[in-house]
With several copies, the nearest count.
Chain A
């Protein structure tokens, strides 16, 4: 088998060996239930609390403000529904954006069916939310603003500080889905006035199946998962101890030498973008040219469809993703690409390559080379390309 060139780090990442090493004892040596009285249990408890503290420290939060969940989606669901239910006496209005992850969008749609009113903010051509519209949308009924930190598809980073200020000034809770940002961008929840923040370990080289919600002390929020007294009565269920330990280690490693790593990532990203633009025509870069995640490249190749691009890349040992309908499980291309104004047929031809610390310049060059061939082969097969050339 050819060595895999993995450029889908926004979908998930391999668990780092050091992370896995730290987790291992908690499966079958230090396996006690953290709620148990005996030493085996309290050692698990200690490990859980240590991880909570590490994670808190990384975002300038107290360890009592970090609550573990099964992942980013649960954290998103909890934040939005928990705040909605707990504050419905104050108001029924929620503001979010059109480019949120489904974990937020579908949760908001669900709340709409229950009588909540939701404003989905527009974004500009780069995917940045309209701050004026945000301010104008706020009413006396507004209880929550939920805007993602960085977009999972096009990598655009939102003006979080400005949003936090608006939320604070108007005394409205501010949640941010930082699933794509944590581990890639330094975040200080106090400086940014963030009240709640979602994260998922598997996006920063931690294990799948574990995430967390930061909840600022004092925020009124209902639990989502009810039962035993774990997580100080806010999230029931036996703790995923190995997962929690792994998440703590992973976040620590992610923020180690972050600036150096990001500098390298940005170089690779720009090399990849330049390589594609220099060698292939009829392409567009999606997302903001500079206000984007260091490793995110998202490009539309006109006249071809994303899934066939991915399958062709896979043949060459390259892993990427697409916002085409065929990969979304629905018949619509990505709502994010449509929200930034792309026509359907162009949105179908998107390719996201999300770079990670393991990628190299050689890999980038190889991908560009392969893309040239694949795109020209698929275009040769495409009636849209034929039509376009005929029209020219």
Chain B
């Protein structure tokens, strides 16, 4: 069902954990639906210098979280804003159709954490105007 990449990230997820003094925290998903992603960002000079996640969810949710953190670590905020769910899924060599919502959740976790950073720090981030962190990714597929 899953690509080897997904399985590899599921079994050896990168950047698991919390950041005590995170600059931005995103928390998306819903235990009812069986997936929650929490993402912690450390941001310095517009750059994501550290990122950690915790995820309650299926294999592809964990792999998507792991891949998302890899994709944004060391990147600027703008670069991180450009990471789409398709990029996450693509980097994992694809996800089964019924699992695409996991990659959407990962994209939302990033944006949600950036929104939190923006609100806490007062730094404006282009592209977050229309972002609604409570939007349900399960409706997307």
A/B: CB atoms within 8 Å of each other: yes
Enumerate chain A interface residues (CB-CB to B < 8 A): 37, 42, 45, 303-308, 311-312, 315, 324-326, 329, 331, 333, 344-345, 348, 380-386
Chain B residues with CB under 8 Å of A329's CB are: 98
A324 touching B34 in the complex, CB below 8 Å, given contacts A45-B1, A381-B16: yes
Partner of A383, one of B11, B33, B36, B138: B36
A315 engages B11 (CB within 8 Å): yes
Q: Does B58 contact A (CB under 8 A)?
A: yes
Contacting residues, chain B, for A315 (C-beta < 8 A) = 11
Q: Would A305 and B35 count as touching, CB distance under 8 A?
A: yes
The smallest C-beta distance from A317 to any residue of chain B, in angstroms, reads: 14
Complex Cα gap A304–B59 (Å): 11
Q: Is B55 an interface residue (CB 8 A)?
A: yes
Kindly state the separation between the CA atoms of A307 and B33 in the bound complex, as whole angstroms: 13
Total B residues in contact with A, Cβ cutoff 8 Å = 28
What is the CA–CA distance of A325 and B32 in the complex, to the nearest angstrom? 10
The binding surface of chain B is classed by DSSP as mixed
Which single residue of chain B is at the shortest CB-CB distance from A384?
B56
A170 CB to nearest chain B CB (Å): 35
Confirm or deny: B57 has a beta carbon within 8 angstroms of a beta carbon on chain A.
yes
Judged by a CB distance under 8 angstroms, whether B19 is at the interface is: no
Contact A383:B59 (CB < 8 A) given known A37-B1, A315-B11, A344-B34: no
Across the interface, do B31 and A384 meet the contact criterion of CB distance under 8 Å? yes
Complex CA gap A13/B10 in Å reads: 28
Contact A307:B59 (CB < 8 A) given known A345-B31, A383-B36? yes
Q: A329-B98, A381-B54, A384-B56 are in contact. Are A305 and B34 (CB under 8 A)?
A: yes
Closest residue of chain A to B29 (Cβ to Cβ) is: A383
Is the pair B34, A325 in contact by a Cβ cutoff of 8 Å? yes
Give me 21 A-to-B residue pairs in the complex whose CB atoms sit less than 8 angstroms apart, sorted by A's number.
Answer: A305-B34, A305-B35, A306-B58, A307-B59, A308-B59, A308-B62, A311-B2, A312-B11, A326-B59, A331-B138, A333-B34, A344-B31, A344-B33, A344-B34, A345-B56, A381-B13, A381-B54, A381-B55, A383-B38, A383-B56, A384-B31
Q: Does B7 contact A (CB under 8 A)?
A: yes
CB of B70 closer than 8 Å to a CB of A: no
Asked, given contacts A45-B1, A329-B98, whether A304 binds B56 with beta carbons under 8 Å apart, the answer is: yes
* Complex contacts, A42 vs chain B, CB 8 Å: 1
Within the complex, what minimum Cβ distance (angstroms) separates B116 from chain A? 14
Contacts of B7 in A (CB 8 A): 311
CA A307 – CA B7 in complex, angstroms?
12
* Closest B residue by C-beta to A36: B1
6 nearest interchain CB pairs?
A: A345-B31, A307-B58, A326-B58, A348-B34, A383-B38, A344-B32
Chain B residues with CB under 8 A of A325: 33-34
Indicate with 1 or 0, residue by residue over B22-34, a CB within 8 angstroms of chain A CB atoms. 0000010001111
B16 to chain A, nearest CB (A): 5
Q: Closest residue of chain B to A380, judged by CB?
A: B16
Would you call A308 and B54 a contact (CB within 8 A)? no
Of chain B, the residue at the smallest CB distance from A382 is B56
B39 → A minimal CB distance (Å): 10
- Give 16 A-B pairs besides A324-B34, A345-B34, A381-B54 with Cβ atoms closer than 8 angstroms: A45-B1, A305-B57, A305-B58, A305-B61, A306-B58, A308-B57, A308-B61, A311-B59, A333-B34, A344-B32, A345-B31, A382-B55, A382-B56, A383-B56, A384-B31, A385-B56
